[in-house]
Every structure is written in structure tokens, then in C-alpha cells.
């Protein structure tokens, strides 16, 4: 079995690796699809010893995996898994250190989530990090949304960024708050016009194309003008302090800022002066991944209108990776592994 690594600096030649043995109490999975995206070094969390990539999930070899259960260990405890089941794998520590591989071993069965027939394996490769973080944010703000709607009759939300996270948020906010869906209004703000067009097709009522050369206060004013009756909630799931600060500036007094846990900007002192409240969303868990899978399976709209993605052969991975560094691809990149061409990254 070959090993192939991606590099920001150069292309690396494949190396041979043995097919891993089936764990006594776990499973071996034949990888079919793997999510791939890129995060600039300036915003990345530090590398973890013994692992390849960045722990926040944007660039991490083997972080978003879907495939087929190929073998189950003889000592595995009873579960709902059988050989041949389509699954997504939650990126637990023992999984992410293996990198992308034709075969992946998972020792804890709870980290393997069975996919229903309504979710393709390609979509399954978008769920373990991006989709799960978006689901976590939606769960975190659900009660607050209901309270704001009860008090004001509506809730206007600005989502910062127009990538895959924003696209997940648009659909999940609607599906997870169906009782008040018509009173939740969403605007998406970004300098990515292609991403904004996708956001519009997924249900965003307003899209705001931002010019990054403008002063921050000018951009904040543009965001506030998205809704005549103000902005009650802003969601910024990207690890970018500038976007968080921009979200703070556009919010009404007493508004709510939704960010991932542990990523609150140092500029949040500005928010305290405006009487803002922070809703910190956990980065995700296998339980939230299971909730996401159920939400998609039960929501016909999300099955038909999931975030846009494009599948590429694993042989073209370095080219795709290079393009992502240049931000020249707007769809989520999914790598397809061929059973006849074993590769490990």
C-alpha cells in the first residue's frame, strides 16, 4: 500500500505502507472519500506532536473520512455495525494520526457513525468536522433564537464568511428551527462572490459582498444596513480575529455573538462595552455528528440542498491542494479513493 503526503512547499513521492491489522475490539474501514481544504498558517493552531496537519480540522490528513466497514474485530462489542455498512468516522485522536489511507482502523466503535441510504459517502466526508461544527453552533444558539423571536418577533442573523461552514449553517438553522423558520432572517457576508451565490441558492435572504480594502467601520455599517431592524445575532465560525471583530461591530446592543469555544478574539473588550453576549459552540463530538446525520436524514431539504462540493480523483490531490492555497476553488473539495489504486497519505 502506498503513502502520499501533501505539502505546502513541494510534492512528495508515494511510499509503501502495510495494510493495518484489524483491531481485536475495533473495525477496519476501506476509505472511499476524504474531505480536503486549506487554512493559511497565520490562523492555524500549533501542530500536535505525532500528528500531521492542523488540529482545527481545516488541514489535517485523514480528518474527514467516509467509507465502508471492511472487517470487524473478533472482540468487538455488539453494535449496529456490520461488514459493508457505509460510515463516517469521527476524528478521534487514534484516527487522525493515521493520515489519509485506503484502510483506516478505529479502535473505539462509538467513533464510527453509520450513514443512512439518503446520505451519500461523498456528503459523508463533509460531516465529521465542518458539518459537525455548524451543527454544534446551531444547537448552542437554538434556545437563544427562540427567546429573541419571542421578544422581538424576529431574529436577524449575519453569518461571516461564505464557505462550507456558512453553507451548512444556512440549511441547519432552517431545519433545526422549523417552528420559527419564517421569522429567522439570514444574511451572509464575504468577499467571495462565488460563495455568496451558493449561499443565496441555499436560502440566504441577503448576501453582502465586502471589499477588504475598505475601513472596518465602513464594512460594519454595510452589514448593519443588511436589515432595517438591526442585527440580533452574528455567527463567525472561522478562526479569524478580524471576522469576529467585524461581527461584534455590526451587532445591536445586547446582541449575540456565536463563535467556536476557545476562539474568542482579544478584541472582544469592544463587545463588552456594547453589552454583547457570547455563545461559545463546542467544536464537536461524536454525539453531535450523530445528531447531524439524523437531521440530514430527516430533512428532505438538506438532502437536496447540501453545501456544494466537487469530487476529485485522489491522484490529482496535490493539484487540488495547490489550488486551495490560492483560493481558486469555491466548492468543497472531496477526494475519491479507488479500490484498485491503494494510496495512504
* pLDDT for 56: 39
Q: What is the CATH number of the domain that holds 272?
A: 3.40.50.720
Domain presence at residue 97:
yes
For residues 146 and 272, membership in a common domain is answered with: yes
For residues 86 and 207, membership in a common domain is answered with: no
Query: What value does the mean pLDDT take over residues 65-72?
Result: 93
Query: What value does the mean pLDDT take over residues 169-197?
Result: 90
Q: Dump the DSSP string for 251-263.
A: SPTT-EEEEETT-
For residues 102 and 233, membership in a common domain is answered with: no
pLDDT tens digits for range 213-255: 888 888 888 888 889 899 999 999 887 788 888 888 899 989 9
For residues 120 and 155, membership in a common domain is answered with: no
Provide the residue range defining the domain that includes 176. 130-281
For residues 240 and 109, membership in a common domain is answered with: no
Task: State how far the Cα of 201 lies from the Cα of 326, in Å rounded to an integer.
Answer: 25
- Cell 453509520 identifies what position? 114
Lowest mean pLDDT among 12-21, 115-124, 150-159, 162-171: 12-21
Domain presence at residue 188:
yes
Largest CA distance in the chain: 63
Task: State how far the Cα of 133 lies from the Cα of 37, in Å rounded to an integer.
Answer: 15
* pLDDT for 7: 43
**Comparing C-alpha atoms, which of 53, 80, 58 is closest to residue 69?**
80
Domain presence at residue 195:
yes
For residues 117 and 33, membership in a common domain is answered with: yes
For residues 263 and 175, membership in a common domain is answered with: yes
- Cell 463533509 identifies what position? 126
113 has a pLDDT exceeding 50 = yes
**Selection from 129-133, 264-268, 314-318 with the highest mean pLDDT:** 129-133
Amino acid at each position: 500500500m502506498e503513502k502520499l503526503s501533501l505539502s505546502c512547499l513541494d510534492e512528495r513521492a508515494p511510499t509503501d505502507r502495510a495494510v493495518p491489522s484489524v483491531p481485536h475490539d475495533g473495525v477496519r474501514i476501506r476509505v472511499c472519500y476524504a474531505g480536503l481544504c486549506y487554512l493559511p498558517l497565520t490562523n492555524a493552531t500549533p501542530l500536535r506532536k505525532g500528528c500531521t496537519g492542523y488540529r482545527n480540522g481545516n488541514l489535517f490528513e485523514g480528518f474527514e473520512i467516509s467509507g465502508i466497514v471492511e472487517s470487524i474485530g473478533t472482540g468487538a462489542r455488539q453494535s449496529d455495525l456490520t461488514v459493508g455498512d457505509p460510515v463516517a468516522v469521527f476524528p478521534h485522536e487514534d484516527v487522525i494520526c493515521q493520515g489519509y489511507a485506503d484502510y483506516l482502523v478505529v479502535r473505539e466503535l462509538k467513533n464510527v457513525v453509520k450513514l443512512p441510504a439518503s446520505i451519500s459517502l461523498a456528503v459523508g466526508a463533509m460531516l465529521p468536522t465542518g458539518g459537525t461544527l455548524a451543527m454544534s453552533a446551531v444547537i448552542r444558539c437554538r434556545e437563544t433564537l427562540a427567546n429573541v423571536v419571542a421578544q422581538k418577533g424576529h431574529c436577524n442573523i449575519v453569518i461571516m464568511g461564505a464557505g462550507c461552514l456558512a453553507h451548512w449553517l444556512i440549511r441547519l438553522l432552517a431545519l433545526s428551527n422549523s417552528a420559527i423558520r419564517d421569522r429567522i432572517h439570514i444574511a451572509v457576508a464575504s468577499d467571495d462572490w462565488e460563495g455568496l451565490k451558493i449561499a443565496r441558492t441555499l436560502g440566504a435572504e441577503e448576501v453582502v459582498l465586502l471589499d477588504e480594502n475598505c475601513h472596518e467601520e465602513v464594512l460594519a455599517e454595510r452589514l448593519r444596513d443588511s436589515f432595517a431592524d438591526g442585527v440580533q445575532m452574528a455567527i463567525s465560525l472561522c478562526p479569524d480575529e478580524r471576522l469576529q471583530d467585524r461581527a461584534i461591530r455590526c451587532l445591536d446592543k445586547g446582541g449575540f455573538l456565536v463563535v467556536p469555544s476557545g476562539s474568542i478574539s482579544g478584541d472582544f473588550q469592544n463587545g463588552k462595552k456594547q453589552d454583547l453576549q457570547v455563545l461559545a459552540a463546542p467544536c464537536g463530538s461524536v454525539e453531535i455528528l450523530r445528531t447531524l446525520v439524523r437531521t440530514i436524514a430527516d430533512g428532505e431539504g438538506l438532502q437536496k440542498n447540501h453545501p456544494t462540493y466537487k469530487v476529485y480523483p485522489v491522484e490529482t490531490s496535490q493539484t487540488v491542494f495547490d489550488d486551495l492555497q490560492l483560493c481558486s476553488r469555491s466548492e468543497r473539495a472531496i477526494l475519491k479513493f479507488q479500490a484498485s489504486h491503494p494510496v495512504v497519505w
